[in-house]
């Protein structure tokens, strides 16, 4: 947060009074809303770009009074400029969300009115479906040890990570933050995982996942205490997501899988295959750790599109 809360850095594009409020807003997002570092960085960048845009209009770094009563026209001008610079609808939508958050923060303190922003429509977002793997492809990924590292413990580690991502539907960050203590309950059939926003959920664990992790632990040359990181890099430090992504690229090439086969695609596959097998949408929401059911509902579109594809290929009159 150091670079985000440096008031002096803000002074080049906003006045001291607004810079002070921006620092407090970012601290509130971090401490109270518990936003991730990546989201904080994105929100800070979006608001900074908007304030830089306003600087050109007011002729000086904007003060609180310059943002106290923004109009839809102010936002449309900013978004038009971002579009000219190549920003897409998703980026513009996130930017508008960050600016709204900042102005509403000011509004709670009696420093601004957010009505103008509330009247500004968010750009229409393109519908993109998660690209899940076929069940056979996902299973092949978890069993393709012959294509992994020649170092036995690293091969076992990579196989365990892939099995965990598909078997439990974890985000890659959730998987790599597991500890031996957290895995103790796996033999009873479930583990507790801390996801986005610090929310903890109970996730069932298949025996195949337990076996893969135990195989890795037996071969790993590094001592693991209870609260140490479970998955280690080659030199003993925490395993980085980039290494898992690199391993996936190797497996993708060896198995002839599409570019959409990524570590996160295994999470999509987990949800899609559960739904196809008759899983309840609300239960899948809880397993994935989604805050809103609407986020999980996208998998109904994935499953429907796959069914239609099968129908078109198989039905004589299709």
In words, the CATH class of domain 7-118 is mainly alpha
Residue 162 pLDDT grade (very low, low, confident, very high; cuts 50, 70, 90): very high
| Known catalytic membership, residue 43 | no
Mean per-residue pLDDT for 108-137? Answer: 79
pLDDT at site 47: 92
> Of the given ranges (47-51, 176-180, 308-312), which has the lowest mean pLDDT?
308-312
Per the model's pLDDT, the better-predicted residue between 8 and 213 turns out to be: 213
State yes or no: pLDDT of 11 exceeds 60.
no
Residue 2 pLDDT grade (very low, low, confident, very high; cuts 50, 70, 90): very low
Mean per-residue pLDDT for 59-66? Answer: 89
Q: Considering the domain 135-260 in this protein, what is its CATH number?
A: 1.10.443.10
Catalytic residue among 100, 171, 252, 273: 171
| Known catalytic membership, residue 268 | no
Percentage of the chain modeled with pLDDT above 70: 86
| Known catalytic membership, residue 196 | yes
The highest-confidence range among 115-129, 186-200, 259-273, by mean pLDDT, is: 259-273
pLDDT at site 233: 94
| Known catalytic membership, residue 282 | no
- Do 227 and 181 meet the contact criterion of CB atoms below 8 Å apart? yes
| Known catalytic membership, residue 171 | yes
pLDDT at site 295: 67
The C-alpha atoms of residue 267 and residue 276 are separated, in whole angstroms, by: 14
pLDDT at site 128: 63
State yes or no: pLDDT of 245 exceeds 90.
yes
State yes or no: pLDDT of 8 exceeds 50.
no
Catalytic residue among 63, 140, 196, 201: 196
| Known catalytic membership, residue 267 | yes
Catalytic residue among 82, 100, 267, 273: 267
Catalytic residue among 83, 147, 201, 264: 264
| DSSP codes joined into one string, 5-19 | S-HHHHTTTS-HHHH
State yes or no: pLDDT of 249 exceeds 70.
yes
Mean pLDDT of the chain: 83
- Do 164 and 213 meet the contact criterion of CB atoms below 8 Å apart? yes
| 151 φ/ψ angles, rounded to the nearest 5 degrees | -80, 115
Give residue limits of the domains in the chain: 7-118, 135-260
Would you say the C-alpha torsion 7, 12, 14, 16 has a positive or negative sign?
A: positive
């Amino acid at each position: 947060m150091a670079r985000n809360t440096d008031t002096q850095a803000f002074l080049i594009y906003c006045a001291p009074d607004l810079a002070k409020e921006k620092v407090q807003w970012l601290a509130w997002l971090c401490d109270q809303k518990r936003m991730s570092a990546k989201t904080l960085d994105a929100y800070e960048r979006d608001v900074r770009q908007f304030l830089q845009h306003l600087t050109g209009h007011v002729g000086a770094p904007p003060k609180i009074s310059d943002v106290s009563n923004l109009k839809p026209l102010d936002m449309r001008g900013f978004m038009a400029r971002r579009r000219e610079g190549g920003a897409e609808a998703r980026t513009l939508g996130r930017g508008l969300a960050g600016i709204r958050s900042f102005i509403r923060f000011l509004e709670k303190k009696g420093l601004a009115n957010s009505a103008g922003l509330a009247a500004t429509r968010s750009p229409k977002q393109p519908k993109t479906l998660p690209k899940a793997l076929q069940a056979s492809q996902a299973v092949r990924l978890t069993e393709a040890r012959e294509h992994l590292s020649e170092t036995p413990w690293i091969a076992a580690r990579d196989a365990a990570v892939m099995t965990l991502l598909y078997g439990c539907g974890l985000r890659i960050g959730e998987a790599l933050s597991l500890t031996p203590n957290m895995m103790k309950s796996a033999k009873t059939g479930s583990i507790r995982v801390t996801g986005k926003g610090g929310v903890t959920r109970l996730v069932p664990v298949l025996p195949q996942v337990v076996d893969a992790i135990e195989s890795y632990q037996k071969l790993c040359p590094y001592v693991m205490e209870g609260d140490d990181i479970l998955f280690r890099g080659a030199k003993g430090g925490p395993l980085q997501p980039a290494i898992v992504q690199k391993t996936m690229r190797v497996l993708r090439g060896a198995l002839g899988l599409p570019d959409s086969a990524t570590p996160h695609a295994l999470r999509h596959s987990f949800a899609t295959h559960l739904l196809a097998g008759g899983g309840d949408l609300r239960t899948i929401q809880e397993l994935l750790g989604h805050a809103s059911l609407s986020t999980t509902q996208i998998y109904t579109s994935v499953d429907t599109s796959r069914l239609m594809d099968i129908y078109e290929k198989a039905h004589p009159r299709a």
